[in-house]
Each structure stands twice: as structure tokens, then as C-alpha cells.
Amino acid sequence: MAKGEEQREILTSNLNLGKSSDFSPLGETIFNSIASGVVIFDSALKITKSNVKAGELISVGDSIDGSLSGCCKDMGDWTMRLKSVLKTQEAETFNNVNCVSNGKTGWLRIRCKPFESGGILLLEDITKNVNLEKQLADTERLATIGKLVSKVTHELNNPMDGILRYLNLAIRTIEHEELDKPKEYLLHCREGLMRMIQIVSELLEFSRGTYYSLEQSEIEQLIDDAIKTMEAGIKALKIVIERNYSPERPKVKGGNLFQVFCNLIKNAIDSMPDGGQITISTSLQENNIAVIEIKDTGTGFASENIEAIFEPFFTTKDMGKGTGLGLAICKDIIERYHGRITAENAPQGGSIFTVYLPTATNL
């Protein structure tokens, strides 16, 4: 039996502790050292005793039904539920109870059972477990979306490839006949098709990288891995990479962040066709928030587009050079890790993208 369960068993069995209203000094010490919140109440639902942990989990008032109703509103009529336990003399457990208390939102498992002439309430904080379950549910949902995207893109690739082939044949035939207008129309069709192909390719790439890792990874390692995948382009354009990494080496939980850094670094490279410098800095703020700043000396963007650049299919690149999905995907992934991303123009030119992420200890 676990220590917390053993302490609760001692309490609820009332062994060597006297009545709840008259605990011995030893009983009082045990009562307040229990890891779970404990509230004892009489047949009128008036609270006769509560331990320290209970006060941390709910706002303990005069009555137990009033205390729960003020914090756990989604469960309906607490008075009826608690009186039912006293009437039937059968314990009842309420799982995944959403509770807002002391300015914090959490999840509780509440067990109510008859005790003495009233009842006893055991409160267990299961917030971490509930959050983990939600993360795993997100993992399954993302995996399902990834499989769907992969299937759709594969189904689209074949007909698009055939259309493009016949368009090119038609263009070459019309060129031979020196027919300008039909050629112009077909070229427009090809441009549109090429954009569709690029979007499909990007969605396919996203589906391949759709996974959620619960292992801790160093942010700097994820960044370095992303840089390695683009070394050829970086060298060809004579772009300099400067790293200003934090000595704390913060860690995060999640493999999708590799794709985030790939997209951000690729955008920085694309903004510097004549070369330049990318400066990547990491730091650790208060509350263990990791900050990753990616700064380039490229062309920057119009200030009125700061909000729009994170919208799907918005792009400032020339036709055929961008789908407008990269930053939207980045924002979506970062927000799934309870983080955020901002963009601004650098004072000396270029752009700065800053990512704020809770470290592994916060998740």
C-alpha cells in the first residue's frame, strides 16, 4: 500500500486518533501530512475539520457543498450528491472534476464516503495526469491527421503529375506552331498547378514529421539538427550562422519542434538570396520559459503583415517560391506545446522571429 493510501486508511479507520474533532497531537500531525486533501463534515454538510492540503485545492468554507459548488461548478448539485452518499452509506468517486480555486485551474479526483455521523471527502490533485492524457489524445489526433494528409497527397500526386506532363507537351506543340495566346493561357495553368504541387509536397512533408515525443530534448540540439539539413544551401549562398546559446541548455518535450526550427531557418535563408547572416540565440527567462530568437539580415516584411504572416496560405514570396503554410504550421505546433511565436522587423534590416516555450520541467 502506498504511503498516502496507508495514511488515509489510518484516518478513515479512526485508529488511535479519537474522534475527528478531538485528534491527538500525533493524529493531528498525520492528518495534516496526508498528501491528499481531507475534509470531514457532519450530517448537515457542515465542515468540522480539514487539513492543509484541502485548503490548497479548494476554497474551504463553512459547508462542504458550498465549498465544492464555488470551486467545482461543472458537476451540478453537490448538495444532492453528498446527501446521497450519507443516505445510502455507500462511497462514491468523482473523477476529472474541473476546479478553479485560489486563481488556479486544476483537476481533482474526489472520493466521498460515510464517516462517523457524517462523511469524509478525499481530494486528489490529478492535473498532471489529465494534462498527460490530453497530450496523448493530441498525439493520436495528429497521427490520424498525418495519415489522412499522407493518403490525400499521394492520391493527388499522380493525377497532377499527369496534368503537368500533358501541359508541357501542349506548350511545346503550340510553341512549334507559334501560337502566342494559347501558350500564355497554358503557362498560367502550369503556374497554378505548380503551386498546387508545392502545397501538396509541403503537406506530405508535414505528415511525415507528425509525431509527439514525450522525451526531453535540448533546444540547441534540435536547432543544430535543423541547420545540418540545410548546410548545402547555407554554403551555396555564403550565409553565416552565428549561435548564441544559453549556458543553461534548456530542454523541451517534443519532436515536432525540429520542424519548427527547420521552417524558421529556411525562411531566413530564402530572405537572403545574396547571402547574409542568421543569428540564433537561446535564453531562459523567469518561470522556466525558454526563448529562442532567430534573426536574419534579409529583406524583412511589411509591418502591416505581422499578424497575417502566420495565417495559412499567406506568403510574401514570389509565385512558386512559397505556399504560406510554413509559419502557420510553426504557430500551430508551438501553441500545442503551450508556447507562442512573435515576429518583428530588425532595426538594422531583416526580421526576428522569437519562440517562447515552457521547458520540460513546466510540462
Give the pLDDT confidence of 263-272 residue by residue, as tens digits: 899 989 988 9
Comparing 215 with 39, which gets the higher pLDDT? 39
Which homologous superfamily does the CATH classification assign to the domain defined by 213-363?
Answer: Histidine kinase-like ATPase, C-terminal domain (3.30.565.10)
Q: Is the pLDDT of residue 29 over 80?
A: no
**pLDDT one-digit tens code per residue, 228-265:** 888 888 988 899 999 999 888 777 766 678 888 988 99
What class does CATH assign to 127-211?
mainly alpha
What pLDDT was estimated at residue 45? 92
Neighbours of 31 (CB within 10 A): 21
Alpha-carbon distance of 363 to 361, in angstroms, equals 6
What is the rounded average pLDDT of the residues 65-82?
83
pLDDT band at 15 (very low <50, low <70, confident <90, very high): very low
Domain 3-125 adopts which CATH fold? Beta-Lactamase (3.30.450)
3-125 and 213-363 agree in CATH topology: no
- Which amino acid is present at 315? T
What is the rounded average pLDDT of the residues 296-300?
89
Task: Report which secondary-structure segment, H or E, holds 356.
Answer: strand 351-358
**pLDDT one-digit tens code per residue, 171-222:** 888 888 877 777 777 777 777 677 677 666 666 655 555 444 546 778 898 8
**pLDDT one-digit tens code per residue, 117-172:** 889 989 898 888 888 877 777 667 666 666 666 666 666 777 777 777 878 888 88
Residues 6+ apart with CB under 8 A from 289: 356, 357, 358, 359, 362
Q: Where are the domains of the chain?
A: 3-125, 127-211, 213-363
Contact of 299 with 305, CB cutoff 8 Å: no
Q: Is the pLDDT of residue 38 over 60?
A: yes
SS3 track for 37-100 = EEEEECCCCEEEEECHHHHHHCCCCCEHHHHHHHHCHHHCCHHHHHHHHHHHCCCEEEEEEEEE
Q: Is the pLDDT of residue 72 over 70?
A: yes
Alpha-carbon distance of 203 to 160, in angstroms, equals 15
Comparing 47 with 144, which gets the higher pLDDT? 47
**pLDDT one-digit tens code per residue, 313-327:** 666 655 445 556 778
Quote the pTM value.
0.47
